[in-house]
Structure 1
């Protein structure tokens, strides 16, 4: 942990007021009402704050979820002040969330993220070792905040099995990935898929790791070429839905120049059972 940075649980109404201020700055929209957040943290929810020299610069918020007889922590929101991004604060908050969730008796944490946001994807899949084989189309409807405005709010539904061998064991041996999808750079220097219909035919039902390219700098692409950004959304939606239907699960990412590859493997090859 970097000097001057502290992560701690937030439990009071005054804490929630400070979080609201940062939330509004990060997403440029109305924050979650305090009566909701304070009730959640008193009933199995977790609110954590990252403080740099006493100032709140990041937070994570989750509340209890329930699905088919099993409880889990629904990690709803993680925000970092724009002046403190790319410093590892998001990873620190997630690790603190993991430890607190284990203390409270959780085994699974779930949340959503935009699969075209490479920074979030690298944290969620490669660093934290979350997995996903569930694609939600336009999950939140039309969103008007600075990050999401202008595109369908498609999301990955992440599963983080916090007590599993997959998360806690660093010794994973997988085959070299296959890369069936070709791409090139436009004149403006942005990546574009060149033959998605033809390349889709090369996806089989094997146990190989399959790598899917996505733009490394998607936010910049959205501003410069909204039509190309929408094309990436629709093309990758079709790819992920096809692979998920074949039993593949996203589990890591690999950076390479203007592209970052998302790696998928058959779910039954991942060590998701509880350690011990």
Structure 2
């Protein structure tokens, strides 16, 4: 389970001891964050999760996910969990199985109150999902996330080791909530192979990277290289949510810049291998093309 463990091949069943190790990692992460994470088992739990989602997304007119929908998900064997500090619900997540059912859990939504940021609660929730999925025999988790939100990109790629498989333009349409505003809802698809060792090994670049997307006077500057197999960097703002509130025009420009750069890179065979804490994406060619992939 650690970075020095031997990972089973994709398609293998969950090895002996893998679930127990995942449970220990999840428990330790929750303890360090000072939270308790438990599956929803009652309608009251699902109602609390629904209220939490509405609070995080500031949705007072409609419900992000109704208590009834969450109850149906939990009752039919899908993932619905609550994050608590004492008796308070401070976070929640919900997901459902996608084909093939025995292999992949799709994590549809996860939210945490802002007061939990910086405490490690986010990674504790993902490790809880990992343990839960492995326990029921799933070996993969997917989810979409806004690739402009630096802290989420850092968590998903650097901390967890998830791959970015696809870029979807305006995936959810106009969401209009307090977090997304009226910016296009572009999303990246994270794909987390649960049979890879955790934590992932760090990325070591052997060449100086080429800047494809960089900050030029608070505006994005995109320069696509004509040739070359060396590593690339794509820099994004450290706080796009704040920028959406203070300068939505600039935020939209960054959306367009990252869309152009990352869509081009993935289509041209580049792969995201790491994300720095400040939101700088690192991309390399796959190993068979000469790149140094993180395993």
Q: What does 1:110-259 correspond to in 2, within 5 Å?
A: 110-165=142-197, 167-170=198-201, 173-176=204-207, 178-181=209-212, 183-184=214-215, 186=217, 191-194=218-221, 196=222, 199-200=223-224, 202=225, 204=227, 206=229, 208-256=230-278
How has the CA–CA distance of structure 1 residues 173 and 146 changed in structure 2, closer, same or farther, with 3 Å as cutoff? Answer: same
- Out of 264, 267, 270, the residue aligned to residue 283 of structure 2 is 264
User: Structure 2 CA distance, aligned partners of 1:180 and 1:19?
Assistant: 41
Q: 1:113 to 1:203 in 2, by over 3 A?
A: farther
Which segments of 5 or more consecutive residues in structure 1 lack a partner in the other structure?
none
The one of 87, 106, 110 aligned to 1:54: 87
- Point out the more displaced range, 28-37 or 71-80: 28-37
Specify which of 19, 36, 39 is matched with residue 6 of structure 1.
36
Contact in 1 for aligned 2:160/2:200 (Cα 8 Å): no
Q: CA RMSD in A?
A: 2.3
Residue 25 of structure 1 and its aligned partner are, at CA, apart by: 0.5
Distance 1:4 1:210, change over 3 A: closer
Report Cα offsets for 1:197-220 as digits up to 9, x if no partner.
Answer: xx21x25352x3321110111122
What's the secondary structure of 2:277's corresponding residue? strand
Distance in 1 (CA, whole Å) between partners of 2:261 and 2:159 is 23
Contact preservation (8 Å) 2:273, 2:282: yes
1:215 alignment partner, SS class: coil
Determine whether 1:78 maps to 2:113.
Answer: no
Count of matched residue pairs: 258
- For normalisation by structure 1, the TM-score amounts to 0.85
Structure with more relative contact order (C-alpha pairs < 8 Å, separation 6 or more): 2
- 2:139 is the alignment partner of 1:104: no
Distance 2:284 2:108 in 1: 26
CA change 1:211–1:104 in 2 (3 A) is same
CA deviation after TM superposition for structure 1 residue 40, in Å: 1.9
Q: Per the alignment, in what secondary structure is the counterpart of residue 164 of structure 2?
A: coil
Query: What does the per-residue CA deviation read over 1:241-269, in whole Å, with 9 as the maximum and x for residues that have no partner?
Result: 1100112222321135xxx3111223456
Would the alpha carbon gap of residues 127 and 247 (structure 1) be closer, same or farther in structure 2, given more than 3 Å must change? Answer: same
Residue number in structure 1 paired with 2:68:
35
